[in-house]
Amino acid sequence: MPVYAMSYFKLPLGLISELESLLMNFWWKKSESSRGISWIAWKRLQYAKKEGGLGFRDLEKFNDALLAKQAWQILKFPNSFFAKVMKARYFPDSSILDATPKKSQSYGWSSILSGLDLLKKGI
């Protein structure tokens, strides 16, 4: 799993779909020539174990949660090197909670902003 990349970049939905397809094929496919039988829906396998699933993660939601964690780290530890660099570059006169998208921002920062939206919903 590309967890490190997922914690800094918003993965495209096509890539997430491909990764989930690979996971499904691993669990359901018998061999290269036969498809295998899906005995239970994939969404059902993503339920927690105590709810009857296997606890597989929904990769899109997991990606969003990791990005929200990065935004939380900037908010919680403003004196870290990463937070200081991001503040100087993207929100020099305000808090990260007031940060807005800029015209010339990096893909990493726009990804963190999508996590920030999720964080704001929780706050």
DSSP 15-49: HHHHHHHHHHHHHH--SSS------S-HHHHTS-G
Task: State how far the Cα of 38 lies from the Cα of 3, in Å rounded to an integer.
Answer: 26
Query: pTM for the full model?
Result: 0.84
pLDDT digit string, tens, across residues 42-100: 888 888 899 988 888 899 999 999 999 999 999 999 999 999 999 999 999 999 999 99
Instruction: State residue 65 phi and psi, 5-degree precision.
Output: -65, -40
The answer to the question of residue 55 being in a domain is yes
| 101 part of a folded domain | yes
Confirm whether 102 is domain-assigned: yes
**Who contacts 123 (Cβ-Cβ below 8 Å, separation ≥6)?**
97
The residue segments making up the domain with residue 76 are 69-122
Task: Looking at the structure, tell me whether residues 73 and 55 fall in a common domain.
Answer: no
In a domain, residue 103? The reply is yes
R_g over Cα of the chain: 18
